Amino acid sequence: MSESDPDRNGPLDGRLVIDLSHALAGPHAAMMLGDLGARVIKVELPDGGDETRGWGPPFVGPPQAPESTYFLSCNRNKESVTADLAGEEGRDLLRRLVRRADVLVENFRPGSLDRLGLSPKQLRAWNPGLIVLSISGFGHDGPHGDRAGYDQIAQGEAGLMSLTGAPGSPTKVGTPVADLLAGIFGVVGVLAALLERGTSGRGQIVRTSLLSSVVGIHSFQGTRWTVAGQLPEGSGNQHPSIAPYGLFPCSDGHIQVAAGSEPLWRSVAAVTGLDPRDPRYAANADRVRNHAALTADLEAVFARDTCAAWSSRLDEAGVPVGRVRALDEVYAWEQTRQQGLVIEVGHPVLGPITLPGPPWRFEDGDAGRDRHTAPPTLGQHDASVRAWLAQAEADDAQADDAEAHAAEADGGEAESDRIAAGHGAADDPGR
């Protein structure tokens, strides 16, 4: 376990995480653990490091030291050290780190670490209390367990693309959601394993995959098939089971309306002038069956005025409504900033930069970080981490020597007491 840094705080303060992962799923998981206060040491290859350092454009910064905005998105609150795990020196550094760690995150193709002599079994032999988070593409066993995992392939294989976009036009989600969900589900497993270790004292191997992360969010679309036998398909920007619920064009843009109950439908009808008693629209099931007609009626009404005007009227009537914002609008929005979803950090090459912030807030006590660090440059902490490790090992050796001397002194004193007690017994006239 790492020593607590006064600049670090949060529920995982004092925990040490070794991040062997690359690309997105694993780095996102390790970043979340760092956001929660853990110390995260990212181990990268000396030649190029994490491949996302080269994913772009866009790149920012000086031409001689360009930084990938992709890498910046998933590596805040980490330190970077370089090591070749295929070499003895690199494996030795990892062994020394693992012995002090609480968690190790990896997302190598199944079997890759085993071939390096770094299987989960070996890692836990070095540290029986270690929790290993292992993320794969399609699972660690089964007929497809050895396949490489990439987000868009997983979105397709796990059915998500068949549910997204217009009917007959499979569409990927605009962010790498399979990767991100695998990281999130992995962190849930790690936190549960840390809690369990507090009782058992044992470490754990936590496994998840891009496939399982997407199947895990099928939600009602999954039970449409498994229970009702109805095969879902893409429904564009309209909800397949609730109406009206979706995207509608106005005279100057788009709004989204969510009428998830009969009272809300009646409010929509009152604002737009539609007849709530129209037999085509009388109940939600009727509106879903006739969603094309209902959508056409609403689009004709909404086209008469602006997004702001319709949003104001619907909001005043208590109907959930929202704009479709571009990302520049999202990050400039007062609500986003007030929720702590935008953070400022100082980067060693780029200077002050703005990053998306952690998605949670802790209201009670000193439970969340109040200081974030920028994603590291490659090998930025080579010297400081190695120096910390050497000092920590020296301190341990000194403590072990002191304990051994104390035990030796206690043993000598006990032997003297035993001898003295023996003499006393021999001289005792009562024996």
Residues labelled catalytic: 179
Of 106, 72, 71, 21, nearest in space to 352 by CA: 72
Of 251, 267, 258, 237, nearest in space to 307 by CA: 251
Residues 6+ apart with CB under 8 A from 342: 331, 336, 354, 355, 356, 357
- Tell whether the torsion through CA atoms of 88, 100, 18 and 199 is positive or negative: positive
Residue reference for tokens 């001289």? 427
Residue reference for tokens 């780190």? 97
Cis peptide before 240 (omega within 30 of 0): no
Residue type for 223, please? T
CB 248 within 8 A of CB 231: no
The encoded tokens of residue 304 equal 């008469």
The encoded tokens of residue 165 equal 């976009």
